[in-house]
Amino acid sequence: MAQRALTGIKPTGEPHLGNWLGAIQPALGLARDYETYYFIADYHALTSVHSGDALRGYVRSISAAYLAFGLDPKRSAFYRQSDVPEIFELSWILSCFTPKGFMNRAHAYKDFVARNQKAEKDDDADINMGLFGYPVLMAADILMFNADIVPVGADQKQHVEFARDIAEKFNRNYGEDVFRLPEPRISESVKTITGLDGRKMSKSYDNTIPLFLDEKPLLKRINQIVTNSQAPEEPKNPDESHVFALHQLLLEAGEEKALRAQYQAGGMGWGAAKKLFFEALNEKLKGPRAEYNRLLADPGYLDAVLAEGKDRARATAVPFLEKIRGLVGVR
C-alpha cells in the first residue's frame, strides 16, 4: 500500500512568501511519492481567530493559495477539518488516553505560559482550553487517516510525537494495531525565510511579503526591505543584505553567483537591487496570482472542491470511527 502523507494548514492569516517556500512548496512536492492528504485546520485556527468573517476569509484565501500553487484535488484529498465531524468525536476518545502531563509539557503551550510570566501576568492568562488541548485534536487529525508521515515545521514535531504516543497507548489497551504510528517529517533543507527587517518572516512581526499582492503594492512592499545607507556606487556585501537573502531563494546556483558578483562590484543602489528582486519574484508569482484571483472570484468552484474533499475524507472516517466506537464500547 502506498505510504500516506498528511498535513494540516492553519488558516490564520494571508499567505506570505515564508509560507510558500517553507510550507506550501515542500508539502505539495510530496504528492509525487505519497498518497497525500491536505486539510484546512479551521478548528485549530479558532483557538486564536475569534472573528467569523476573518476565519471565513482566511479559509478561502489559504485554500485558493494551495490550489493556485498546483494542489491537484483529483490526486490528493483536500478538505476542511470542520467538514469531517468524525475527527472531533475521535478527538474526545483520544483525550481519554492522553496523559494531562503531555499537554503540560507541550512546547506551544509552555511558550504562552513563559510569555505570560515575562509580562508578569497570571500563568494562564489568555490561554483557552482549545489551545491547551490543541495537540489532541491534532492527533485525531493524523490518526483518523492513518498517516505514515506528517510533514511539519520543527515547532510541530513534538505534537506529532504525542500523536504517536497516544496511538501506542490506545493500540496497547485494545490489543490491536488500530492506528498506524505516524512519523514527523521535518524538511531539513527548508531554511527559515527572513522578512523585511531580517527577522524570521512572520505575520506576528508584520514583516511579510504577502504572496498575492498586485504588482504595484508588491513593489511597494519590497521597497520597505531594510537596507544600510551605502551609496549606489559602493560595493555591497550580499551576505549582510536582507534584499539578497530573499532574492537568492529564487535563484539557481549559477544565477546566485552572478547576482553576488553584481552586489560586490558596486554601482548598484538599493533601489535597483530591490527592483531586480521584484522582477524575479513577480515572474514566479504572476501565474499563481492570476489563478488565485480567478479562484476567489468563483466561490462556487472552491466550495465544490472542498465538498468533494469532504466526501472523500468521510468515506474513510465514517467506517473507521464506527470500528473505534465498537472497540471502546459505545456501540
Phi-psi category of residue 329: left, alpha or beta, with phi > 0 → left and psi -120 to 50 → alpha: left
Question: Cell 515572474 sits at which residue?
Answer: 283
Note whether 208 binds ligand TRP by CB under 6 A.
no
Note whether 313 binds ligand ADP by CB under 6 A.
no
Site residues for ligand TRP, window 118-147 (CB under 6 A)?
Answer: 138, 141-142
From the list 49, 37, 46, 53, the residue with the least C-alpha distance to 151 is 37
Residues in the interface with ligand ADP (CB under 6 A) total 15
Residue 208 and residue 118: Cα distance in Å, rounded? 26
Q: Which helix (H) or strand (E) segment is 150 a member of? A: strand 149-151
Which window, 14-22, 32-40, 81-89, 220-228, contacts ligand ADP (CB under 6 A)? 14-22
Return the one option of ligand ADP, ligand TRP, none that residue 138 interacts with (CB less than 5 to 8 A, by type).
Answer: ligand TRP
Distances from the Cα of 6 to the Cαs of 157, 177, 243, in angstroms? 14, 19, 34
From the list 101, 59, 84, the residue with the least C-alpha distance to 6 is 84
What's the min distance (Å) between Cβ of 142 and ligand TRP? Answer: 5
What are the residues facing 79 on neighbouring strands?
A: 39
Note whether 313 binds ligand TRP by CB under 6 A.
no
Which window, 7-15, 281-289, 292-300, 307-315, contacts ligand ADP (CB under 6 A)? 7-15
Among 4, 5, 6, 22, which residue interacts with ligand ADP (rule: CB under 6 A)? Answer: 22
What's the min distance (Å) between Cβ of 24 and ligand ADP? Answer: 8
Residue 264 and residue 262: Cα distance in Å, rounded? 5
Q: Which residues contact 176 (CB under 8 A, 6 or more apart)?
A: 327
At 136 the three-state DSSP class reads: helix
Give whichever of 84 and 201 is closer to ligand ADP, judged by the CB atom: 201
Residues in the interface with ligand TRP (CB under 6 A) total 12
Report phi then psi at 230, rounded to 5. -65, 145
The 77-80 sheet, strands edge to edge: 77-80, 35-40, 4-9, 149-151, 183-185
Binding letters toward ligand TRP, positions 152-191, x by CB under 6 A: x---x-----------------------------------
Note whether 316 binds ligand ADP by CB under 6 A.
no
Among 7, 61, 76, 82, which residue interacts with ligand TRP (rule: CB under 6 A)? Answer: 7
Note whether 106 binds ligand TRP by CB under 6 A.
no
Report residue 293 CA to chain centroid gap. 21
Binding letters toward ligand ADP, positions 178-217, x by CB under 6 A: --------------xx------xxxxx-------------
Return the one option of ligand TRP, ligand ADP, none that residue 193 interacts with (CB less than 5 to 8 A, by type).
Answer: ligand ADP
Report phi then psi at 132, rounded to 5. -65, -45
Given a contact cutoff of 8 angstroms between Cβ atoms, the answer to whether 30 and 190 are in contact is no
- Under the rule (CB under 6 A), what is the footprint of ligand ADP? 10, 12-13, 18-19, 22-23, 153, 192-193, 200-204
- Under the rule (CB under 6 A), what is the footprint of ligand TRP? 6-8, 10, 41, 44, 138, 141-142, 150, 152, 156
